[in-house]
A and B are shown apart, each in its own frame.
Chain A
Amino acid sequence: MKIFRLGGLVAIALCFVVTAFAHHSAAGVDTTKTVTHEGVVKIFKWANPHSYLEIEVQGKDGATETWNLEMMPPSYLVPAGWTSKTVKAGDKIKFSARPMKNGDPGGLFVSITLPDGKTLGQTAPRGGGAAPTAPAAPAAPR
């Protein structure tokens, strides 16, 4: 597909953020908004039932905030091109996320742009899930 040939810019398999996924609710997340920040990876955890990222973002006032991003489990990251080594502590990245309604630094992961310029998202459970909240790209073949 053409979309996968846009060299280094877009490799997003699917941009669904499945808010009804798994065992807890995303009622505290503003699924109408997407925020984007630059930062440095502090932790990337490859785990079930959720992978997660902690990213240090420097605020305008110079203070550092740690953003806590909840991701899908690895079975939904691998088809989107992830491995447990895709990012590591110290990597300078850009991320987008659905933010918390209460202003806490964190939310649901949407996509990441890696130091080499590649962008990765995550896939959704088979058959869909919650209504898409971002423009969708076609799912990677399984």
Chain B
Amino acid sequence: MSKFRIGRIGMAVLVVLGVMTAASDLLAQFQPPGTLGVLAPANLAKPRPKAPFDITGTWLHSRGESERFEPPAGFKLTPFGQKHYDAAAAATAAGKIYRNDIGLCWPAGVPIMMTRVWPIQMIQLPTSVFMISELMNSLRIVYMDGRKHTDPDIVVRSFNGESIGRWEGDALVIDTTNFVDEHHWIFDRGGIPATDALRVIERIRMQNEGKRLEIEYTLTDSKVFVGDWKFVKHWDRVDDRDIAEVECLPDLNDHMPTVHSSDNVRQ
């Protein structure tokens, strides 16, 4: 082969590769064949600005802070949201537990998984942040390599949602959408469901010389409530903890009287 032909073939290959890796064409799911995943060495090696901080570590929601995502002052619900809210209030008044889906092993999903008593281990790479909660080993992958959210018409929806992250000044900003539409709650006991309209934006800053994370949450779910709900929560670094396998097994709950009791309102 002449040098000239090799050069043209080489250029063609580069163009194809360039198109395939062009960030604006990439969706989080259903990538074209050959697209680089977040752990592909070539993706990891791409030149990127240095991250303002490294979130890698074991983190635990700060005790003494509410773990709940409760309606803030002045909240307004849609009729759909109000129906659940009122049913939950009636259940609570009767000493019952409203829609304890998590107790039945439905995943908590985002945001509830973020404030459990179980630690979350996080690993930060240039392309992504992996978050694994100890409870049910729920996994979030935050895509930081420029890909965009998947088309809502083809996305496979999930409890933890689809997270796209970027650095903005000193903050890690995560935009999560494409959630499931059922058995998913923002505040289960209080009757605030999460629907496929839920969007969660997290602005995460590191504090106290890397010992604390502050997370500012902004939640919108136009099927459930009007406007946006904001919360600020903190995590502490727990260097003396690792996570174990924690499954929610079908027969475990046979032995959990709180899950089985007739005090649970299922519908």
Contact = CB atoms under 8 A, between A and B. Distances in A.
A118 interface: no
A107 interface: yes
Chain A residues touching B, majority SS: loop
Interface stretch (A1-9, A33-41, A83-91, A126-134): A126-134
A63 interface: no
A73 B246 CA distance: 10
Given A23-B108, A127-B63, A70 B256 contact: yes
Interface residues of A, number: 36
Given A48-B247, A50-B256, A102-B262, A25 B103 contact: yes
A101 B263 contact: yes
B103 A50 contact: no
Contacts of B263: 27-28, 100-102
Given A48-B246, A126-B60, A25 B257 contact: no
Interface residues of B, number: 34
29 contacts: A20-B67, A22-B116, A22-B135, A23-B102, A23-B135, A24-B258, A24-B259, A27-B96, A28-B95, A28-B97, A45-B255, A48-B245, A49-B135, A49-B246, A49-B248, A49-B252, A50-B255, A52-B252, A68-B255, A70-B255, A101-B95, A101-B263, A104-B262, A107-B257, A125-B63, A125-B117, A126-B60, A126-B63, A127-B64
Interface of A: 18, 20-29, 43, 45, 47-50, 52, 54, 68-70, 73, 75, 100-102, 104, 106-108, 125-129
Interface of B: 60, 63-64, 67, 92, 95-97, 100, 102-103, 108, 116-118, 135, 189, 238, 244-248, 252, 255-264
